[in-house]
Amino acid sequence: MERKYQVTESDLFDFFNGKLSAEEGRVILEWKEVSAENRKVFDAVRKENLVLKEVVRAQLIKGDYSSIQGRMAHRRRRVVGLKYWVAAVVVVGVVASVSLWDNSPVEDTRKSIAYIGRPARTAVLELADGGHHYLSGNEIRFKEEEGVQLAISDGKVVYDKKTGQGVKEHPVYNKILVPRGAGLYRIVLNDGSVVWLNSDSRLEYPEQFVRGERRVRVSGEAFFDVVRDTTRPFVVETDRQSVSVLGTEFNVSAYPSEPVLTTLASGKVRVLPTNGAKEVLLLPGEQSVLNVEGDSLFVHPVRISDVVSWKDGIINIENMALCEILKVVSRAYDVDFDTKLLPTDDIILRGSISSDESLEVFLAVLSKVADVKFKMNADGKIEVQKVN
C-alpha cells in the first residue's frame, strides 16, 4: 500500500534547523524520495533556510498577504502548505529576488541591487559663513557654555563659536543637511528641544533664538519634541506653511512637490498656510494635509505610531500606495525607480520593516507582498514591473 505524506514548508524548515524528532526527520527523508517534485521542493527550502541564516534579519511587523493568495493555493496543491508562507515570506522573497538580478553582470557590483546596503549616517552641518562639517554618528547636540556655542557629534566638538553679548534681533541661520541614503539624525537644540531629521531633509536653525520666538525652517521630514516656553513660541516654517506651538510633539513632512503633512502627537499646534487657506488647530491624533498648491487644507484622524515610526528606525508602509512606498525607499537608500511599466491602478500595502536592512532585503519583501519584480537598468535606475 502506498504511503502518503503531508509535509509542509514549515516542517522542512524545522527539519533543517534540527527541531524535529528522529522519527519526524525520517518521515521527511522518506517523503523527499517519493518524487522528483518533492526533491526539488526539499532543495529549494534548504537554500531558503541558508538565506534565512546568513542574510535575512528583516521582520514584518504586520502585513496584508491577500495579493499572493493565488500562488499560495497553487503551492498547497503541491503539498507545500500555507502555514510557512505567512511566516517566511521575507525569506522566500529574498530567494526570488536573486533571480531578478541574474541579468546584471556579476562583476559590475556598482550596478547590482545587492551592492546597495543599509542606509549610511553622514549628515552635514553647513554654517552661515560657508564652513562645512561632516557629522559622524547619528546625533548632534548644541549647547552654550560661558558665551560659547558648542556643537557636539559622536562625543566630539564639531565647532565652537562665541555667541556674543545678548540676544540678537536678526538671527544668523546654520543648516543641517541629511542627504538621501543617510538615514535619520537626532538633533538637540540649545533650548533642549529635540528634532529627528529624516533622509533627504534639511533643518535651518539660528545660532541664537531671537526675543519672543524660536523659529526654525524645515524641508523634508522632521519630528519635533519641543520644550515648553510660554514666553517664546516655537515656530516651524516650510515653503507652504508655518506651525506654531508652545511645547508639544508633532511630525512635519514637507518634501518638494508633495503635500505637506503635519501630525500632532501631543499638545496643540496651529497650522497656518502661507497661500490663503484657512488655518487649523490640531488635536492629538489629527493630521493636516496641505495640497501642493498650498491653497487647500483639510484634517483627518491618523494612527500616530504609523506616521512617526521612522524616527525609531522603522519604515512603515501602513495603507500606503506602492508609488508612495517607492518614494520612501528612494530617499532612504538614494536610488531612483523607473515605474512606467506599472499599471495605473496603484497597489495598497500594509506592513513595516527595519530601516537598517539592505535595499535587497527591502525590495525582496515588496516583491512578494506586492507581486512586483525589480531589475537594475544600465542607467542606474531600478525598473519595477508587475508580475503577470
CB atoms within 10 A of CB 378: 9
Provide, rounded to the nearest whole percent, the portion of the chain with pLDDT above 70. Answer: 79
253, 221 Cβ separation under 8 angstroms: yes
Residue 219 is given by DSSP the state E
CA max distance for the chain:
96
- The region of weakest confidence among 132-136, 212-216, 365-369, 374-378 is 365-369
CA proximity to 78, closest of 36, 141, 107: 36
Instruction: Compute the distance between CA of residue 304 and CA of residue 288 in angstroms, rounded to an integer.
Output: 13
If DSSP codes are grouped into helix, strand and coil, which group holds residue 248? coil
The three cell numbers of residue 191 are 533650548
* pTM given for the model: 0.71
Mean pLDDT is highest, among 120-124, 133-137, 175-179, for: 175-179
Burial class of residue 371 (count of CB atoms within 10 Å of its CB; 0-12, 13-18, 19+): middle
Strand partners, 300: 287
Q: Are strands 241-245 and 234-237 parallel, antiparallel or unpaired?
A: antiparallel
Q: Kindly state the DSSP code that residue 381 receives in the 8-state scheme.
A: P
For 304-323, b/e burial (b = at least 16 CB within 10 A) is bebbbbbbeebbbbbebebe
Indicate whether 154 pLDDT > 60.
Answer: yes
Per-residue pLDDT tens digits for 299-326: 999 999 989 999 988 888 777 888 888 9
Closest CA to 199 of 122, 297, 282, 295: 122
pLDDT tier, 357 (very low <50, low <70, confident <90, very high otherwise):
confident
Query: What H or E segment, with its residue span, contains residue 339?
Result: strand 337-341
pLDDT tens profile 255-298 = 999 999 999 999 999 999 998 788 999 999 999 999 988 888 99
C-alpha cell at position 310:
521612522
d(CA 91, CA 97): 10
DSSP state of 246: S
For 26-49, the DSSP string reads HHHHHHHTT-HHHHHHHHHHHHHH
Alpha carbon distance, N-terminus to C-terminus of the chain: 41
Tell me the CB-side half-sphere exposure of residue 72, using CA atoms within 13 A.
Answer: 17
Confidence band of 25 (pLDDT split at 50, 70, 90): confident
Mind listing the pLDDT tens digit for each residue in 137-153? Answer: 889 998 877 778 888 88
Reduced to 3 states (helix: H, G, I; strand: E, B; else coil), residue 363 is helix
- CA 257 – CA 341 distance, rounded (Å): 22
Note the helical H segments in the chain.
9-16, 22-32, 36-54, 69-77, 83-87, 89-100, 304-308, 322-333, 359-369
Domains, in order of start, for the chain = 119-201 (no CATH), 212-302 (2.60.120.1440)
pLDDT digits (tens, 9 = 90+) for 35-71: 888 888 888 887 666 555 433 333 333 333 333 333 3
Phi, psi of 157 (to 5 degrees): -75, 120
DSSP state string for 184-196: -EEEE-TTS-EEE
Grid cell digits, residue 381: 535606475
